[in-house]
């Protein structure tokens, strides 16, 4: 049996809706909105050749006025869900998407994302509206990891392709209008899953994983020692791509960026979990279900930091911590700005030794807190929601869905982000075990006031 069809990853065979969920503790009034998560959940009888090839299913939890009003799960109904091929006689079908990597809200639209296709719009109740192409202006695929500027509200994203043009940069206004697209010169076929923005720059990462037409899993990428690892830095705004600069870095593969910012010396600081050759191959073997896989889907993934000095043209890089982590998150108000606090999910090692946990890093003191979970339990990516009336960066809540194999159940934990050692602020009991997914978002009814 493929590992991504067993245990925490065992797919659901149906869609359900449950109302008036049991709440322990007290749900803060500012938690008025929906936590929506996305992940791969192939239909019954379907065994995808790679974890990432499974059809997308979104899970939503509606909170309002101290109540948990509903939970529901829905497949994202794309042509791929019904078996439509990505490649057709006319070329790639950008609507034949799994739509199973991430889900975001932008300009009033809820979008399910997969980096090799167009986004899919959903209703607030998670029903599928259809493929969304920004009124015909988006003619490329869209990354699953766009970045919304916290000051101006525009959405920055990119398209990465194994064929020219390898990299295209896009900007959507805060009203949802695609206002800028341009190809980025000098890019390669290297896998670019995530990126970062600062106040003045866009930061791309090309790792040592690149296009490989011989890969048979349906995800045509592999580690190639001959692929140079690089960071690309380009000014934000129209025409910025012409000024992109590429900086060589050590071999590795970064799937997810925690954040990037410009320090007081004008250098760009970028952080994100990164794997070496052995870590990538062990993880890849899990993703494709190889007998040579590790016990967990991520191994040897350590938080890495790069400091790019634009004046000298040099990059200093280091491993920040020896803890195996993935799914980094921050307070989104700090996107592109220097942040103090950073969150992640910790993993057992590649032998399966150790428990999962939720991690908080204090980058000012260099310390960390870990909230370990029990045997057979798995937390989801921790999503930060600011507290009402707060002005501190970590004053708020971390929302994580804790799945428990032994109880065959899941709970939404509302954790105090200032102290992970404290008891949960609230626990919402969900009607079923939620399948281990990938990414998600908090979609607030109204922005939380920090006044």
Q: Residues marked as binding?
A: 145, 193, 256, 439
Burial class (CB in 10 A: 0-12, 13-18, 19+), 432: middle
- Within 10 Å of residue 19's Cβ, how many Cβ atoms? 12
DSSP codes, 369-389: EEEE--TTEEE--PEEEEPTT
Three-class DSSP category at 299: coil
Closest CA to 412 of 388, 390, 396, 432: 432
Whole-number Å distance between alpha carbons of 210 and 253: 10
Phi then psi dihedrals of residue 247, to 5 deg: -120, 130
Q: Quick one: DSSP state of residue 190? A: B
Three-class DSSP category at 356: coil
310-328: b (≥16 Cβ within 10 Å) or e: eeeeebeeeebbebbbbbb
Question: What is the rounded radius of gyration, in angstroms, for the C-alpha atoms of the chain?
Answer: 21
Closest CA to 382 of 410, 332, 344, 355: 344
Residues in the annotated binding site for Fe cation:
145, 193, 256, 439
Instruction: Give the CA distances from residue 432 to residues 19, 151, 268, 314, 411, in Å, rounded to whole numbers and listed in that order.
Output: 13, 38, 44, 51, 9
Strand-pairing partners, residue 401, are 412
Question: In sequence order, what E strands does 320-439 have?
Answer: 325-329, 341-346, 357-362, 367-372, 377-379, 383-386, 396-404, 409-416, 426-429
On whether the CB atoms of residues 258 and 205 are closer than 8 A, the answer is no
């Amino acid at each position: 049996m493929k590992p991504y069809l067993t245990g925490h990853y065992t797919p659901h065979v149906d869609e359900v809706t449950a109302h008036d969920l049991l709440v322990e503790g007290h749900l803060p009034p500012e938690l008025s909105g929906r936590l929506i998560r996305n992940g791969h959940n192939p239909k019954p009888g379907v065994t995808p050749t790679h974890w990432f090839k499974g059809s997308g299913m979104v899970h939503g939890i509606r909170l309002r006025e101290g109540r948990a009003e509903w939970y529901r799960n829905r497949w994202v109904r794309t042509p791929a869900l019904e078996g439509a091929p990505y490649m057709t006689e006319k070329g790639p079908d950008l609507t034949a998407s799994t739509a199973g990597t991430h889900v975001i809200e932008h300009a009033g639209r809820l979008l399910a994302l997969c980096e090799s296709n167009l986004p899919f719009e959903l209703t607030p109740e998670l029903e599928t509206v259809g493929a969304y192409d920004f009124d015909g202006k988006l003619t490329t695929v869209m990354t699953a990891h766009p970045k919304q500027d916290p000051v101006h509200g525009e959405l920055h994203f990119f398209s990465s392709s194994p064929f020219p043009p390898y990299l295209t940069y896009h900007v959507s206004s805060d009203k949802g209008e695609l206002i800028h697209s341009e190809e980025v010169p000098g890019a390669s076929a290297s896998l670019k899953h995530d990126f970062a923005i600062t106040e003045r720059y866009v930061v791309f990462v090309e790792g040592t994983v690149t296009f490989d037409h011989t890969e048979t899993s349906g995800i045509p990428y592999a580690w190639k020692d001959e692929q140079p690892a690089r960071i690309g830095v380009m000014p934000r705004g129209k025409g910025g791509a012409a000024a992109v600069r590429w900086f060589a870095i050590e071999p590795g593969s970064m799937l997810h960026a925690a954040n990037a910012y410009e320090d007081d010396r004008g250098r760009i600081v970028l952080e994100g979990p990164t794997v070496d050759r052995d870590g990538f191959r062990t993880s890849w073997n899990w993703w494709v279900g190889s007998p040579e896989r590790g016990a967990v889907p991520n191994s040897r993934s350590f938080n890495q930091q790069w400091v790019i000095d634009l004046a000298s043209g040099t990059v200093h890089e280091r491993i920040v911590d020896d803890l195996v982590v993935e799914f980094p998150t921050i307070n989104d108000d700090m996107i592109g700005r220097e942040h103090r606090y950073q969150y992640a999910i910790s993993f057992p090692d590649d032998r399966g030794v150790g428990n999962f946990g939720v991690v908080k890093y204090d980058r000012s003191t260099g310390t960390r807190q870990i909230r370990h979970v029990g045997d057979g339990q798995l937390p989801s990516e921790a999503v930060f929601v600011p507290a009402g009336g707060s002005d501190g960066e970590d004053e708020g809540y971390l929302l994580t869905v804790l799945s428990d194999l032994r109880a065959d159940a899941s709970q939404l934990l509302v954790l105090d982000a200032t102290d992970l050692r404290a008891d949960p602020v609230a626990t919402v009991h969900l009607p079923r075990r939620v399948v281990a997914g990938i990414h998600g978002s908090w979609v607030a009814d109204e922005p939380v006031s920090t006044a």
